[in-house]
């Protein structure tokens, strides 16, 4: 079968780009250990406010420089609205939604979650630079969406 040389070149380039993308993905997963933030557990969104740990959202120190933040998203706020931890803290966020789908993104970090009612999502961030980081809802969730945010204060 005759394949035109331009077509052969395009096929070769396509194979090369696929190989580069595959190698980048393998490097990311096997060497850098990057993972998609997955669901941690299931909860009933209608009763989540009464069930631990979401009946008492807030910050808990779990080690010399590690903290657990339990957070509830609802139309149109996060509970708690502000958390404060020292610089160089590693913070594990455990978050769920009590009503509709919300987003969770922290300015200047890799933290980016979908908050789906019934699902607990988790991500971990180490904050080295002092300052106030905005935590925003980035999934349209109704009339008050644009005002749905919280603050993370690193001291």
Phi, psi of 22 (to 5 degrees): -65, -40
Using a 10 angstrom Cβ sphere, with 0-12 exposed, 13-18 middle and 19 or more buried, the burial of residue 104 is buried
Q: Pairing relation of β-strands 131-136 and 89-97?
A: unpaired
Contact 99, 75 (CB under 8 A): yes
139 binds ligand CUA (CB under 6 A): yes
Give the range of 19-27, 38-46, 84-92, 132-140 binding ligand CUA by CB under 6 A. 132-140
140 binds ligand CUA (CB under 6 A): yes
Q: How far apart are CA 10 and CA 53, in angstroms?
A: 55
135 binds ligand CUA (CB under 6 A): no
Does residue 53 have a cis peptide bond before it, meaning omega lies within 30 degrees of 0?
A: yes
17 binds ligand CUA (CB under 6 A): no
x/- mask, ligand CUA, residues 54-93, rule CB under 6 A, reads ----------------------x-----------------
Using a 10 angstrom Cβ sphere, with 0-12 exposed, 13-18 middle and 19 or more buried, the burial of residue 43 is middle
Give the range of 40-48, 54-62, 86-94, 138-146 binding ligand CUA by CB under 6 A. 138-146
Among 40, 145, 149, 151, binds ligand CUA (CB under 6 A): 145
Q: How many binding residues for ligand CUA (CB under 6 A)?
A: 9
Q: List the structure tokens of 10.
A: 């395009």
We find the least distance from the C-beta atom of residue 98 to ligand CUA, in angstroms, to be 11
Q: Which stretches of the chain bind ligand CUA, using CB under 6 A?
A: 76, 102-103, 137, 139-141, 145, 148
């Amino acid at each position: 079968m005759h394949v035109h040389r331009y077509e052969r070149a395009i096929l070769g380039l396509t194979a090369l780009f696929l190989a580069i993308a595959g190698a980048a993905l393998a490097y990311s997963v096997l060497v850098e250990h990057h993972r998609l933030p997955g669901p941690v557990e299931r909860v009933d969104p209608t009763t989540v406010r009464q069930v631990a740990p979401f009946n008492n959202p807030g910050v808990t120190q779990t080690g010399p420089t590690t903290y657990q933040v339990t957070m509830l998203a609802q139309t149109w706020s996060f509970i708690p609205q502000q958390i404060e931890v020292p610089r160089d803290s590693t913070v594990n966020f455990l978050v769920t939604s009590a009503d509709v789908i919300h987003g969770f993104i922290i300015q200047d970090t890799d933290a980016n979650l979908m908050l789906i009612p019934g699902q607990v999502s988790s991500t971990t961030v180490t904050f080295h630079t002092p300052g106030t980081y905005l935590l925003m809802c980035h999934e349209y969730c109704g009339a008050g969406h644009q005002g749905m945010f919280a603050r993370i204060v690193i001291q």
